[in-house]
Amino acid sequence: MPRKVFLFLIVLALIAGVSESTATTVQRFTLEEMTERSQAIVHGVVRGARSYWSPDRKLILTSTTLEVAESLKGQNARTIEVTTVGGQVGDAVLHVSGMPAFTAGENAIVFIERSAGYLTVVGLGQGKFSIAAGDAINAVSDLNFADGRPSRPLRFPVQTLKDAIKALVERPR
């Protein structure tokens, strides 16, 4: 069998064996680890978002503006802008499984770190807690964890989560 035909068959077999993945694999973070990694943790309301091409035009990024109701860690600011990978520019759409999504008017507690020059969410969906009916819950269903354990969202009464974060921030190191 000629070498080119053999290589073509190997590539074809590899392509046929590839299945579409609907989850992103990440490191699992505890509340303590997310708090330590964060430069800022805010409770805020989503006021707007804009999607745009990265400078190298390889990715679509979305910058979301949060009006800060309470700063739980970091400097006080009236607003903070968080950047995530994904979004829509014209007809081009980029979706990244496990990346947190924000909705205008949404109330959330967000763990924020600096990465590649942007402020972004710690641990993808792990670091964004949407608030509804007095509870704060993160979205991790599109995440696979490197430790192999199943993904389960964390749910706290809002004040319990805030108190835990404040205790971790104030704890002597």
Q: What is the pLDDT of residues 90-142, one digit of tens each?
A: 999 999 999 999 999 999 999 999 998 999 999 999 999 999 999 999 999 88
Range of the domain at 65: 20-167
User: In the chain, what is the greatest distance between 2 CA atoms, to the nearest angstrom?
Assistant: 69
In a domain, 78, yes or no: yes
Query: Helix %, strand %, coil % for the chain, to 5?
Result: 25, 40, 35
Rg of the chain's alpha carbons, rounded to an integer?
Answer: 19
Query: Residue 20 and residue 67: Cα distance in Å, rounded?
Result: 37
The mean pLDDT value of the chain amounts to 88
Q: What is the pLDDT of residues 51-78, one digit of tens each?
A: 999 999 999 999 999 999 999 999 889 9
Residue 119 confidence (pLDDT) = 97
Q: Look up the CATH number of the domain holding residue 25.
A: 2.40.50
In a domain, 172, yes or no: no
What total number of domains does the chain contain?
1
79 vs 172, higher pLDDT = 79
In a domain, 58, yes or no: yes
| SS3 label, residue 90 | coil
Instruction: Please say if the pLDDT value at position 21 is more than 80.
Output: no
CA 163 to chain centre: 22
- Please name the amino acid found at residue 36: E
Instruction: Please say if the pLDDT value at position 169 is more than 50.
Output: yes
- Helix (H) and strand (E) counts in the chain: 3, 12
In a domain, 33, yes or no: yes
pTM for the predicted model, two decimal places = 0.85
